[in-house]
Structures are given as C-alpha cells and as structure tokens.
Amino acid sequence: MSGVRRDTLLPPGWIVFAVFVLNPVFWAMGLGGFIWAIASIPLIVWILLRHDVHLPPATILFVLYVVWAGCSAIMLDSFTRVLAFGLRYGVYLAAIGFAVYVYNERRVTRTTFVNWVSMLWIWAIIGGYLGLLLPRTRLNVTPASLLLPRALSSNDFVGNLVRPRFAQVQNVFGVNVPRPATLWAFTNEWGGNVGLLTPFFIAATLYAVDPWRRKAGIVGLIVAAPVMILSVNRGLWLSVGLIFGVVAMRSFLAGRTAPLRILAGGVVIVAALIILTPIGSIVAGRLSESSSDSRTGIYQEAWDGALESPILGWGGPRPSANPFSPSVGTHGHMWFAMFSHGLVGLALYVGWLVNAMYLANRRRDPVSIMLASVVCVGALQMFFYNMFAGSLPIILIAIGLLFRSEDGLCATSRPGHLDAREPESDDHPREPAAQNFDGPASAITLRQTRQLL
C-alpha cells in the first residue's frame, strides 16, 4: 500500500489544522506552550511513513543549525535544564517538520494552508481584546495542571504554561498596563507571533476571490490596530511596519499600486487613532521609555559567555550575574543561539536567515511576497525575541509554502484578483496544478509527488 494512504483515517493537512485552527483548545487545556513541541511527533511519523520527501529550498542551513544545537546538549548540567532543552528542541524539530509537511503534502493547496495558519492570527487578536478586558484573569485549573506532578507545576515558568493567563500586567512608564498574552505564556510571545502571522492573514483575505472576504480582511486589520497599539509592544510595531514597507516597496517595483494605497490608508487610520484618542499618550510614553541598560548588560554577558565556550555554547540560558536581570540568552534568538550553541550555532542561524531572505525575495507573485515578508520579520525579531513559542514553525511554514505553486490559482497584480497561473521565478518553474483537498481524487502517489518536486 502506498505510504500516502497510510494516514487515510485523518484528513490531509490535519496537523496544521489542529495546531493553528484548534490552538485555543490546546491553550485552554494548559497545553498551549507545549503543543509546538508535541507537534513534532506526528510530523516525524508522517515523514517516516513516506518513501520520498524533499526539504524545501532555504532550509538546509537550519537543519544543520538544529543538528549543531543537539550537540550542545552535552553542556547541560542539571535535570531541569535538560527538560527545558528537550522542550526547545522539540520546537526545532517541529519547525523542520512543518516545512517538509506543507511543502510535500500536495493534497492540500497552498491557499488552504495559508487560510488555516491565518486563523491563529484571528484567535490572537480576539485573545488580545480579552487580555485588555480581563487583564488579571487566568485559567487556574486545566487538565495539564492536574496531570503534571506538583513539583513541576509549582515552578513559575511551568505554571505560566499550564495555568495560562489572558495578559501580563506590567509597569510601563509608571502605570500598570495590561499587555495581551492570550494563547501564549508571555506578552512578548503574543506580539512576536502576531507580527509573524499578519502576512498570512493579509494573504488569506486581501488576495481572496470572494469580495466579501476581502472586505472582511480590511475590517479585521482595522479592528486589530487598537489592540496592537495598546499592547505597547514595540517589537510588534516594528514588525508590522516592516511588513507593509517591504510589501509596498516590492509591489511598487513590480508595477502594482494597490498595496501602496492600502499602506497609505493604514497610516491614516493609525495616525487618527494616535491623534484623536488616548492611545497617542500610550504610544508616546512607550517610545520614550528605554530598557537599553538592562538589555545591554545581558547582551554583553551573552557575548562573554559565547567567547568562553565558542564551539558548543552552554546548551541553554543561564542566570545573569545581575540578580535583577533576566537570564542570559532570553532576549533575542540571535543572543540565544550565540550563548546556547556557540559562535558556530550563531553563524549557522544567521546564515540560514540571510540565505532564506535572499531566496524568498526572488519569488514575485503577491502571495509569495507576503510569505517572504514573514522571513524578513523573523530576521528582524531575532534581535529582541526568542523564537520558540510558535515563531520558528511559522517562519518555516512560510518558507515551505513559498516554494510551492498556488496549485493553479495565484494572486495577480492586485488584491482580490486571482489568475490561473503563477509567474515563474528564474530558478523555480511553474508546477502542474495539484488536486484539491476535497474528495477521493485528491490523493496523489509518491511518484507524482516526486514529479511535482
């Protein structure tokens, strides 16, 4: 029996659907922080059941980085650090697995995968408003909190995972401000993932065939603007600015003006919110606030630690010499890679992102431009966010989908209009259309998959 038919009890693409569309269910069960690592298990099984799968372009350096990160495990010196390493490594494996999965699973169209991933953006925005309305609310009893041994669940970090909260209330410029965290353990994880997911939502709505879907997309972006601003998340602001700037510039160079008009409209709406509402004082206060001193200190410690162990690093974050600072290697994936996996790990990680951005930006159709902006945002966020709670899987999914055709449908010169062909890039000619997700005819053989690849 063909390997493709060994999982017929489950519909094609079910792993992406479960992790992204059903993510709030796992979060409410106290598994939101673990689901990204848990997903590596069915992904690995799916890959092993197939005789012929291919790595997407722009992923080999990431695979080498993950292999090197595994070697750094010999530097771990305690059981709790081994557990934390295992959780992080599961996310690494899931990221690779998701890239291979969406690239090779041709029974599901690229459009369908993009739609499913974009659902997590919708849930995150809804959760953001819940965080603003219920800032001190958390789910104190979840299945995960009941099943875990008390010795583990009583740990502050694990407790935030298994007893999730809607927001973190933090002192920002002298005022207690609720900052959304719903679906993630920490508010910066919420902001980082919303930034990475925004291009998926735009691709799923503004480039849809249905005009009502396009209108809903515009409404969704307008509705999301206040919660993005009120999150006082500067990393999110930078991410969204980069997305619209890159997309507008590339679209303009390609002769498309619709993204420029959308960008101009977005600027007008945000400016109106800042000028005409109390949001303006929040933005001004957040921009004037600086945490550069504490960050500079832990960055310096990360560099010093990397010089002490330049080959393998330390396997994971370690406490800072300053008792009032966070652990070294926790504020930016670049610094994490440097400290945890040594200068070799840092070179592989940065090299992967640079190569991925170069290859991704050679794709010229509008949906691929949106997906390429995810990679650009990931490169930006590595300076100030760690990328474990969903971020790396999202980036690798974008890469996996980038190098697929739209399976017979691809966005043309302006949002909302589709064409039966995708413009070819120099090194990736157009593929035959894949069969759709629905119906028994959707199953394709491994030999056909090889021909597509």
Per residue in 398-439, pLDDT (tens digit) is: 999 999 865 533 333 344 333 333 334 444 434 433 433 333
- Which DSSP letter does residue 55 get? P
pLDDT number for residue 397: 98
pLDDT number for residue 280: 58
- Going from the C-alpha of 325 to that of each of 167, 175, 178, 298, the distances in angstroms are 21, 21, 21, 7
Q: Per the structure block, which two tokens stand in for 224?
A: 């999301």
Per residue in 196-219, pLDDT (tens digit) is: 999 999 999 988 888 999 999 999
Q: Which residues contact 421 (CB under 8 A, 6 or more apart)?
A: 410, 430
pLDDT number for residue 324: 75
Alpha-carbon distance of 376 to 353, in angstroms, equals 8
Alpha-carbon distance of 297 to 304, in angstroms, equals 11
pLDDT number for residue 409: 37
Q: What DSSP string runs through 165-201?
A: BSEEEEEETTEEEEEE-TTSSSHHHHHHHHHHHHHHH
Q: Which residues of 222-245 are buried (b: 16+ CB within 10 A; e: fewer)?
A: eebbbbbbbbbbbbbbbbbbbbbe
pLDDT number for residue 389: 84
pLDDT number for residue 213: 92
Alpha-carbon distance of 327 to 324, in angstroms, equals 10
| CA 266 and chain centroid, separation | 23
pLDDT above 70 covers a percentage of the chain that reads 78
The predicted model scores a pTM of 0.83
Could you give phi then psi for residue 97, rounded to 5 degrees?
-60, -45
Which parts of the chain have pLDDT scores under 70?
1-8, 173, 254-294, 405-453
- Which DSSP letter does residue 418 get? E
Alpha-carbon distance of 87 to 81, in angstroms, equals 10
C-alpha Rg value of the chain to the nearest Å: 22
Residues β-bridged to residue 418? 411
pLDDT number for residue 207: 87
pLDDT number for residue 327: 84
Alpha-carbon distance of 330 to 179, in angstroms, equals 19
Q: Per the structure block, which two tokens stand in for 257?
A: 């003006």
Dihedral of CA atoms 418, 421, 423, 425 in degrees, nearest 10, equals 130
pLDDT number for residue 3: 44
Q: Per the structure block, which two tokens stand in for 453?
A: 């690849």
Alpha-carbon distance of 326 to 335, in angstroms, equals 13
From the CB of residue 17, how many other CB atoms can be counted at a distance below 10 Å? 19
Inter-residue contact 291 to 179 (CB < 8 Å): no
Say if strands 175-180 and 410-411 run parallel, antiparallel, or are unpaired: unpaired
pLDDT number for residue 1: 40
| Distance spanning both ends of the chain, measured CA to CA | 22
- Going from the C-alpha of 404 to that of each of 18, 55, 173, 184, 428, the distances in angstroms are 22, 12, 46, 30, 9
